[in-house]
Structure 1
Amino acid sequence: MVTKVRIEDDAELAARLATTAGQIAVAVRESGLLDGKELGSAGDKVANAFLMKALAEQRPEDGVLSEESRDTLKRLDKERVWIVDPVDGTREYGERRSDWGVHVGLSIGGRAAIGAVALPGLNVTMRSDRTEPLPPAPERLRMVVSRTRPAKEAVHVAEALNAELVPMGSAGAKAMAILRGEADIYLHSGGQYEWDNCAPAAVCEAFGLHCSRIDGAPLQYNRADVGLPDLLFCRKEHATRVLNLVAAM
């Protein structure tokens, strides 16, 4: 009989959940039984089942919001709400790329307080309780953008800054690219949801990045409308200039 162990530390729990869900998704992919969209759907489903079961056991009093589970507005009465994306970057996961992730974030009082972003393709989990100094920025800045639909604001700002565009998949992979020294700015508009960026925001804030909407407003979580269509993650020294360039469009 397996003894259930309660993990008291929220950050440790987030990291273990994200890492394990990523390993589960990798196992589904490596089975070789599915491909493309079918593989993406299966990976999402299996990883989500694990996350929902584990959170129900480890944090039964907390609310949960997952991309892959039916939402219930009962979470709005909760101070603490786990916001998860079992496979962020389903297309990249299905294509057997490395730029996909698993997001496990904890919103406390509407703020992204704790988070972990697992990048299984890189065998890395970035977490809000284990930070490191940011690598130095290069002379020419780099901006991560969608592989398929770069936001017009991002393209405009990149041109104004003479920044290099770096196409990438998952929102979590883009955000973590800044922390890993592969990029400097992540500017997005055109549609996301709370599960796309709660965990990345928690990790990025812990590492000292500027994190906001593209008008400078704070990111807020556990709302009735879970749409969160735009964001800016960047080094703090670049934030004012980027926000001003967006405002001037």
Structure 2
Amino acid sequence: MTVGENDELLAERLATAAGAILLDLRTRGGLDGKALGKAGDEQANAMLCREIRTARPADALLSEEEKDNVARCGQSRVWIVDPLDGTREYGEGRDDWAVHVALAIDGIATVGAVALPGLGVTLTSGAPVALPPANQPLRMLVSRTRPAAEAVFVADKLGAELVAMGSAGAKAMAVVRGEADIYLHTGGQYEWDNCAPVAVAQAAGLHVSRVDGSPIRYNNPDTYLPDLLICRKELAGAVLRLAAEYSPAR
């Protein structure tokens, strides 16, 4: 624990440190694929949970890799972490995976840090980056393995290029970094999949919402979140309208 460390600096430090653990584990060799992903999840999670409980003992904690305690719902401050977002990509030796450390206050993603260890970068809500100009043509991020039909429909209507990428954190941060313009996801996620990315994206001045335009709330008894939109603000109206127009019968 660092004396006087605020929430933003704590999130950044822990996300970066977890990324270093994961890189070191992969570099050492001896494990690959699912076994490497499982070991990485366990080691990064152990450190994150230990450090958060030490630094913020009064706060609640929700982690993908820990048994949930719904008593957290009665607390204002809850740390929401994903020790390894993109386990498949990590195990395959790719760079499009991430570490998420977030703090939700009264249900709002308030503090976030997303480490992209394969790129040597950690993006945080405490130090938002300036958005570069939009891409021409527009670029829309989709899953490597299961592109959402809604996203394909919207991309076609906007004349946007589809860009396949791994983890939710990597995709969200690609919009923050200006490598893409739209991340529309309708395949379902959990709170740990997008709380930190949402906090970072909001701080960078991006539009963040559910696909129906409603706000995203965290620290719910049921941690499932059906959909997510992160995009440049000037595109939000068109994307939301087109998403509403989509029908599976088309």
TM-score by length of 2: 0.97
SS of alignment partner, residue 129 of structure 1 = coil
* Alignment check: 8 A CA contact 1:135 1:179 kept: no
In the alignment, structure 1 residue 208 sits paired with structure 2 residue 205: yes
SS of alignment partner, residue 85 of structure 1 = strand
In the alignment, structure 1 residue 117 sits paired with structure 2 residue 114: yes
Corresponding residue to 2:128 among 131, 134, 143: 131
CA-atom RMSD in angstroms: 0.8
* Alignment check: 8 A CA contact 2:139 2:160 kept: yes
Structure 2 match to 1:92:
89
For residues 7 and 13 of structure 1, the distance between their equivalents in structure 2, rounded to whole angstroms, comes to: 10
For residues 124 and 108 of structure 2, the distance between their equivalents in structure 1, rounded to whole angstroms, comes to: 16
For residues 94 and 136 of structure 2, the distance between their equivalents in structure 1, rounded to whole angstroms, comes to: 29
SS of alignment partner, residue 189 of structure 2 = coil
For residues 204 and 2 of structure 2, the distance between their equivalents in structure 1, rounded to whole angstroms, comes to: 29
Structure 2 match to 1:19:
16
For residues 51 and 138 of structure 1, the distance between their equivalents in structure 2, rounded to whole angstroms, comes to: 36
Cα displacement string for residues 52-94 of structure 1 (whole angstroms, at most 9, x for unaligned residues): 0001100000000000000001111110000000000000000
For residues 4 and 231 of structure 2, the distance between their equivalents in structure 1, rounded to whole angstroms, comes to: 32
* Alignment check: 8 A CA contact 1:6 1:58 kept: no
For residues 62 and 169 of structure 1, the distance between their equivalents in structure 2, rounded to whole angstroms, comes to: 31
For residues 56 and 193 of structure 2, the distance between their equivalents in structure 1, rounded to whole angstroms, comes to: 21
SS of alignment partner, residue 43 of structure 1 = helix
SS of alignment partner, residue 145 of structure 1 = strand
Structure 1 match to 2:51:
54
Q: Structure 2: which 5+ residue stretches go unaligned?
A: none
In the alignment, structure 1 residue 153 sits paired with structure 2 residue 162: no
For residues 151 and 223 of structure 1, the distance between their equivalents in structure 2, rounded to whole angstroms, comes to: 25
Identical columns (%): 62
For residues 41 and 129 of structure 2, the distance between their equivalents in structure 1, rounded to whole angstroms, comes to: 30
1:7 shift after superposition: 4.5
SS of alignment partner, residue 114 of structure 2 = strand
For residues 147 and 4 of structure 2, the distance between their equivalents in structure 1, rounded to whole angstroms, comes to: 40
Structure 2 match to 1:34:
31
1:138 shift after superposition: 2.2
My pick for the range that moved more, 172-181 or 197-206, is 172-181
Structure 2 match to 1:105:
102
1:136 shift after superposition: 0.3
Corresponding residue to 1:174 among 163, 171, 176: 171
My pick for the range that moved more, 70-79 or 131-140, is 131-140
Name the count of aligned residue pairs. Answer: 246
Name the aligned partner's letter for residue 12 of structure 2: A
Q: Structure 1: which 5+ residue stretches go unaligned?
A: none
For residues 42 and 190 of structure 1, the distance between their equivalents in structure 2, rounded to whole angstroms, comes to: 26
TM-score by length of 1: 0.97
1:5 shift after superposition: 3.3
For residues 129 and 144 of structure 2, the distance between their equivalents in structure 1, rounded to whole angstroms, comes to: 28
* Alignment check: 8 A CA contact 2:129 2:177 kept: no
